[in-house]
Amino acid sequence: MGHLDKIDLSASLTREKSEKKIERLQLRLLHLRLVCGGLLGSGEFGPPLCVVFEGWDASGKGGAIKRLVGRIDPRHVSVAEFGVPSEEEKRHHFLWRFGESLPGWGEMSVFDRSWYGRVLVERVEELVKPDEWHRAYGEINAFEHGLVDEGMTLVKFWLQISDEEQKRRFEDRRDDPLRRWKLTDEDWRNRSKRAAYVAAVEDMIDKTDKAYAPWELVAAESKQYARVAVLKTVIARMEAGMRRWGMQVPPSAGSDYDR
């Protein structure tokens, strides 16, 4: 049984319950973000926070990111999306293009896709040679270890949905004129390679799930459940990162935000 098989895709929340939880969690995240940004409390900067999203097409990454940053002032968070590298980016080491978007002390960045494209789409679609993506695991581990040693809290999400649920979401997008733009022929073609992508994801988790930068595997069959899980995880990891660097974590205001 692989890592993905162990994810309980039956986990779910109703929209009403999820919206109430999301509201409380967003307020807690906002509080922590203001403290780490030096805008509340002692004024010192908290550790950099980088949240990386990977997952199947239509797994809900965009919706999860929207809820994650929903209450944060746009000046206090950066969201970066990474697709096919440009010709200029291809002239450099594959990690080069991500450097400018990484957060510094007191900052937060969210990555929609990331350097893991090297061992996922670039591997499966044979856009790089086998020795390049084999070598990339060690390069990624060293890269992430260095970031964490310098203070970063690195949160890596894989959003998991079943093949059947992905097909249903694709069809919903196809039939909705306001969302049809989100679906491409490439998306449909990639579905035929799901087995190869599963193998790539399993290898990725095996080789890059480290204590300093663990993978957070999220059941995303229920979008409502996934959005809450993402917020809860980021808050917990953010608080742990603050404690790691001797920064006082403020108590949550009022009643428990995770009821």
Q: Which of the pair, 141 or 259, is modelled with greater confidence?
A: 141
Residues 6+ apart with CB under 8 A from 180: 173, 174
Backbone phi and psi for residue 43, each to the nearest 5 degrees, phi listed first: 90, -5
Is residue 133 within 8 A of residue 119, CB to CB? The reply is yes
Cβ partners under 8 Å of residue 173, min gap 6: 58, 179, 180, 182, 183
Burial class (CB within 10 angstroms; exposed 0-12, middle 13-18, buried 19+) of 35: buried
By three-state DSSP, how is residue 159 classified? Answer: strand
Q: Give the mean pLDDT of 235-258.
A: 84
Q: Tell me, what DSSP letter sits at residue 9?
A: T
Cα(113)–Cα(127) distance, integer angstroms: 17
Calpha distance 47→133 (Å, rounded): 30
Q: Give dist(CA 102, CA 245) in Å, integer.
A: 19
DSSP 173-241: HHH-TTTGGG--HHHHHHHTTHHHHHHHHHHHHHHH-BTTB-EEEEE-SSHHHHHHHHHHHHHHHHHHH
Closest by CA position to 2, among listed 218, 199, 243? 199
Q: Is the pLDDT of residue 138 over 50?
A: yes
Q: What is the pLDDT of residue 190?
A: 84
pLDDT, the chain, mean: 95
> CATH for 4-243?
3.40.50.300
Confidence of residue 184 (pLDDT cuts 50, 70, 90): confident
Q: Where are the domains of the chain?
A: 4-243
Q: Which amino acid is at 250?
A: P
CA dist 80 and 50 (Å) reads: 11
What number is the average pLDDT over the span 174-203? 90
Q: In the predicted model, what is the mean pLDDT of residues 231-236?
A: 98
What are the φ/ψ torsions at residue 155 (nearest 5 degrees)?
-110, 120
Question: Where is pLDDT greater, at 186 or 43?
Answer: 43
For residue 78, the Cα-to-chain-centroid distance in whole angstroms is: 13
Is the confidence at residue 147, as pLDDT, over 90? yes
Does residue 1 have a pLDDT over 90? no
- Identify which of 62, 55, 65, 58 has the alpha carbon closest to the alpha carbon of residue 4: 55
Residue range 218-229: average pLDDT?
98
Residue 71, class by beta-carbon neighbours within 10 Å (0-12 exposed, 13-18 middle, 19+ buried)?
middle
Task: Write down the residue that tokens 């990639």 correspond to.
Answer: 190
pLDDT tens-digit series, residues 28-50: 999 999 999 999 999 999 999 99
What per-residue confidence (pLDDT) applies to 134?
A: 98
Q: What is the pLDDT of residues 248-258, one digit of tens each?
A: 999 986 444 44
pLDDT at 259 over 80: no
Separation between Cα atoms, residue 202 and residue 128, nearest integer Å: 19
Sign of the Cα torsion 76, 47, 94, 233 reads: negative
pLDDT of res. 247: 96
Give the pLDDT confidence of 80-129 residue by residue, as tens digits: 999 999 999 999 999 999 999 999 999 999 999 999 999 999 999 999 99
